[in-house]
Structure 1
Amino acid sequence: MLLHTILTRMIQTGTLCVRYPSGRMREYGSGTEPRAGLWLRTTRAEWRMVTNPGLALGELYMDGEAEPLDCSIFELLDLMAGNLWAGGPHPMESLNYRLRLLRRHLDQLNPVGRAKRNVAHHYDLNGRLYALFLDRDRQYSCAYFATGQETLEEAQAAKKRHIAAKLRLTEPGLEVVDIGCGWGGMALTLARDWGARVTGITLSEEQLGVARQRAEEAGLADRVRFELLDYRALPQFLGRAVDRVVSVGMFEHVGIDHFRGFFRTVKQVLKPDGVALIHAIGRSSGPGATNPWLTKYIFPGGYSPALSEVLPAVERSGLWVTDIEILRLHYAETLRHWRRRFAANRDAILSLYDERFCRMFEFYLAGAELAFRRSDHMNWQLQLSPSVDALPMARDYMVDAERGSVGGKVSV
């Protein structure tokens, strides 16, 4: 039994109980807590866990061929994630990972047409789905937890304040471009609370419709506009330079061969004294490759880059890096909230889609949270400017603005 041999080597911390298709039960690990179980219902499931576990486990769970045994899918993935390197990696997964590294340039090739299709795959789902597990403002990116005790709504509002402080919106009327505006929450907040004039762009038709409706309902349509536009078309579309650029949770969809073009575009649309803030998921252990299940089912063409891959592209663009911040466990906490809200509203979501879809999203939310808790994932924020002297010498202004003591919320 190849899988038995692999698990004997891999599981060293905690205890994994596996029920094989024959009905035989085996235990792996130390015999101590934490404990989790896996039921492999078919011989095909057992074989796929040998040959390509990075793709197979998620698919088997979606199709009901693999089930958590006396535990949740989160508990099962948590135990397995904690043992990924403890006893040495899965031999076939190590090989598959090296192959993914070799083909990642092809996997992340995102020309305009493909980029739009990739976005539609995930973001053009039924809008009610996201309303059932995100915060009221539909912020689909890492929240900001100063203490970890905040509600999701409080933490997402704090994230927007944190980013606005770094944009240094010191006077009303500054023109901002929001690249990857989602359902419009950031753009509307910057217009309402900081007096900015915002152009938000997205490749999602579903998000575009919601964002435009929200602007009308908020009475902000004269200060915020939303467009279906690829970032590469921004210079021609705008026809002028703007004061600020913000992009939250979009850079993961750019692709490594497009990094230089992205930052060239940011510089091209910024005024000489302009400021940009780019917020994205990254990895702390250096360049890697996206999990194949995540690529196939959730984010085709997506990749969370190491800063060592991003900064050379920034340097070649001629932009100054004026500030870098790493947010470590903030996204883990965000995903914990999403995962629990999804579970609480599972019946409503099931009425929109089906059991397989619900299992897909459960696997995604659990696995994503564990990528931040047990692996190398984090968030980075880069503040950029074309000019060395566009911002104050010290970063105190960010804290002052965030706390509202100096240059905070602008009266409009």
Structure 2
Amino acid sequence: MNGSPRLEVLLSKSSEACQWMVQYLVSAEGREIIKICLLECSVREVRVVVATILEKTLESALNFQDQGVDSLLDVLLSLLDKDVPENCKNCSQYFSLFSNFVQKVRSREVKTSITNGYGPCQLLLKHAAYRRMLIFLLGPNRQNNQNRRWSSAQAREFLHLHNTLALIVLHSDLSAQRTVAPGSYKHSAAGSVPGSAPLLPLHADIEASLFKPEGQPYLLEVMFAMRELSGPLSFLIEMITYCSLCNEHFSLGVLQLLKNQLETAPPHELKNVFQMLLEILMVEDPLQSQRLKFAFESEKGLLALMHQSNNVDSSRCYQCVKFLVTLAQKCAPAKDYFKELSSHWSWAVQWLQKKMSEHYWTPQSNVSNETSTAKTFQRTISAQDTLAYATALLNEKEQSGSSNGSDGSPANENSDRSLRQGSESPMMLGDSKSDLEDVDS
């Protein structure tokens, strides 16, 4: 194990050493060692070292244009048929070698501006890696109404699997999927893909998994991943926003999936779901206004969710209010939209003010409404800040009568007046009086 760094250097410097390693790994003995040490071994540190060596071998073989890289990749992908499913609890390192392979080779190409034969994503697509990984994730021929192949506990090992799939999508050209022209909006390539890197033609497997009806099971798995995975999810979020760009059908479809999660998932699992929704609504293209309205005003939108949850699930309602405030702070078009829509959510500000002032409380720094498993609202410093900004946002609308207000804190008398008006404003989705009742015991 201590010789692993030296081996990695040798593989990167010597084409002969790389060729020997590839030939050994594709031999019968090498295949058996890969299976035992990468998947069957119960010691995580061993699996990490073996995955790193395999990743470095793939990277070097690709850079040296070694003809054996195809055979090695086939050996590794063939494990998806039987050995990876049988050792699911140990599979994180297996998938990490692919996600790291994609990222590291890409970085080297940017630094040297050298095209090393097949790029990593192109090589993976050539060997049907995207489709084979999807089959592992979903099961063969999974239908929209079928149960998931893996339990939530098992799926927590799939962060690197999701990252690999997302990175392949991010390296693909999705311009043919746009339903509206970008117009005056300027967009560069996805942030995880260097601007100088060419995009791959959209592969049929990717198109089917994301842009056709049969792709619904994969998008559902992405939604579950946002709830279940604890690692960084930036690649998944970026993939969804990249697919949403100038694509009305995909945008509204994924927003509907997110709304379903916000309504049905436990409140403590919603943090990353809200983060994905935030990034989608911040995408600047001709569809941005339509996305905002669909997310908030449509059936089962966030306005309706706030209305139906404030009496029975105050933590969920608060997270919706906080999301509205956060989006307004980060996105100028959203801020203007909320100011014009203030009559439909001002009741929620009064509801939050009442929750914060029901009785004496000490601000809590070790409690979070986003992670607490309780359904009841927790009085926190963050909630205090949310209330202050939401009140200021309402006052901007009242004071300016336009979208050109400032972000300053309102005077107390203005705040009281705004909240009184908010309580009298009709909520389009039900009786506003019930929204102001106490929800905590």
> TM class by shorter-chain length?
under 0.3
Higher strand proportion, which one? Answer: 1
- The two structures have a TM-score, normalised by structure 2, of 0.26
- The two structures have a TM-score, normalised by structure 1, of 0.28
Q: Indicate the structure whose relative CO is greater, using CA pairs within 8 Å and at least 6 residues apart.
A: 1
Larger Rg: 2
